[in-house]
C-alpha cells in the first residue's frame, strides 16, 4: 500500500478529530458516534485507525493519572 498523499492525510486527521470530539461530548459512547466512526475508518488506513485508537486510550489514561493521581491496585507491589 502506498502512503496517503497530503489531501488524504488531511481528510483522515479531520475524520479522527470529528470522531474524538463526538466521543468527548457523548462520554465515549460509540453508539452515538457510529457515523463518525465509519467515516474515520473509511478515510484512514487500517493501520492508522489502530494507532489512533491506542493513542486516544493512552491520552485518556494519562489525563486520568494526572488529574486523579496514581492509585496502585491492592495486590500491586510497592516499590
Q: Indicate the domain borders of the chain.
A: 6-68
pTM of the model: 0.80
**Residue 61 to residues 14, 18, 21, 23, 33, Cα–Cα distance (Å):** 23, 20, 17, 15, 21
What is the mean predicted confidence (pLDDT) over 29-56? 95
pLDDT per residue over 1-30, tens digit each? 578 899 999 999 999 999 999 999 998 888
**Residue 13 to residues 9, 38, 71, Cα–Cα distance (Å):** 6, 14, 34
Amino acid at each position: 500500500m502506498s502512503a496517503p498523499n497530503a489531501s488524504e492525510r488531511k481528510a483522515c486527521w479531520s475524520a479522527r478529530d470529528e470522531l474524538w470530539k463526538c466521543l468527548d461530548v457523548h462520554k465515549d459512547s460509540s453508539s452515538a458516534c457510529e457515523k463518525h466512526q465509519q467515516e474515520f475508518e473509511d478515510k484512514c488506513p487500517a493501520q492508522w485507525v489502530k494507532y489512533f485508537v491506542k493513542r486516544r486510550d493512552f491520552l485518556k489514561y494519562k489525563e486520568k493519572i494526572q488529574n486523579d493521581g496514581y492509585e496502585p491496585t491492592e495486590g500491586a507491589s510497592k516499590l
